[in-house]
Chains A and B, each alone.
Chain A
Amino acid sequence: MTTTTRPTAPPEAYAKAALVALALSLTAGAVAGWVRSDEFWLVAVVFAVCTLGPAIALGWLIFVSGHTVQPDPHVEDSVEARWVERACSGAFIDLVVAAGVALTLTSVLDLEVPGGLVLLAVVAGAGIDAVLRYAVISRRES
């Protein structure tokens, strides 16, 4: 039986990643709590907890992934890379067109749309569009 050893990063890399994650999430929580003057601690804890996951991912990406992930030198040659590229470029064009149409409609109809809602729609719409495009392309061309 053969065994493979997963590459690991030195302990200080994990420590740095954890410190950066904690610093980022605590900062986000503190800023969110400071901006909303009432119920500082509740807001700060909620935002710190919500941002901890992405902050850990960012810390891992910066300090750990360089040790544990070995880049594939031929990744760009795979058909999947081409599908991702096409799906993302298509989603970007869809996003620009949708934003233009939405802007026209809100101007004509004199609508006030909350900025947070717009950003959420942009992020979710672009992500879903890219995933759907990838699914269609891969099904059609595999």
Chain B
Amino acid sequence: MDNDLADRRAERGWSQARLAEALGVSRQTVISIERSRFDPSLPLAFRIAATFGCTIEEIFRPDLAD
């Protein structure tokens, strides 16, 4: 699943570790999500959306190639 998590994080000037701490997950999890190598669980997706004050659909887009 494609996402713009890295851009949104960069806009806030947050490090991956800072975002990981805010989400309650490991830094590796943030790295894998940003590289679209890991689709987060629904609860984590909701926490990500809440952290950036938007909806899940605004951050994540289905990869139509799959």
Using CB atoms and an 8 Å cutoff, list the residues of chain A in contact with chain B: 72-74, 76-80, 82, 141-142
Q: Are A76 and B24 in contact (CB under 8 A)?
A: no
Of B23, B29, B37, B41, which is within 8 A of A80 by CB? B29
Q: Are B24 and A73 in contact (CB under 8 A)?
A: yes
Measured between alpha carbons, how far is A32 from B54 in the docked complex, in Å? 64
Q: Which 3 pairs, one residue from A and one from B, show the smallest C-beta to C-beta distance?
A: A74-B24, A77-B44, A79-B29
Measured between alpha carbons, how far is A134 from B29 in the docked complex, in Å? 15
- For residue B50, give the distance in angstroms from its CB to the closest CB of chain A: 13
Counting CB contacts under 8 A, is B19 at the interface? Answer: no
Measured between alpha carbons, how far is A74 from B38 in the docked complex, in Å? 16
Q: Are A77 and B32 in contact (CB under 8 A)?
A: no
Counting CB contacts under 8 A, is B26 at the interface? Answer: yes
Chain A interface helix/strand/loop/mixed: helix
Q: Are B31 and A78 in contact (CB under 8 A)?
A: no
Number of A-B contacts (CB under 8 A): 38
Q: Are B31 and A77 in contact (CB under 8 A)?
A: no
Q: Are B31 and A142 in contact (CB under 8 A)?
A: yes
Q: Are A78 and B37 in contact (CB under 8 A)?
A: no
Measured between alpha carbons, how far is A79 from B32 in the docked complex, in Å? 7
A-B contacts, 19 of them at CB < 8 A, read: A72-B24, A74-B23, A74-B24, A74-B25, A74-B44, A76-B41, A77-B23, A77-B24, A77-B41, A77-B44, A78-B26, A79-B26, A79-B29, A80-B26, A82-B38, A141-B37, A141-B38, A142-B31, A142-B37
Q: Are A80 and B28 in contact (CB under 8 A)?
A: yes
Q: Are B44 and A142 in contact (CB under 8 A)?
A: no
Q: Are B38 and A77 in contact (CB under 8 A)?
A: no
Mark each residue of chain B from 15 to 27: 1 if its CB lies under 8 Å from any CB of chain A, else 0: 0000000011110
Q: A80-B28, A142-B37 are in contact. List 18 more A-B contacts (CB 8 A).
A: A74-B23, A77-B25, A77-B40, A77-B44, A78-B25, A78-B26, A78-B28, A78-B29, A79-B26, A79-B28, A79-B29, A82-B38, A141-B32, A141-B37, A141-B38, A142-B28, A142-B31, A142-B32
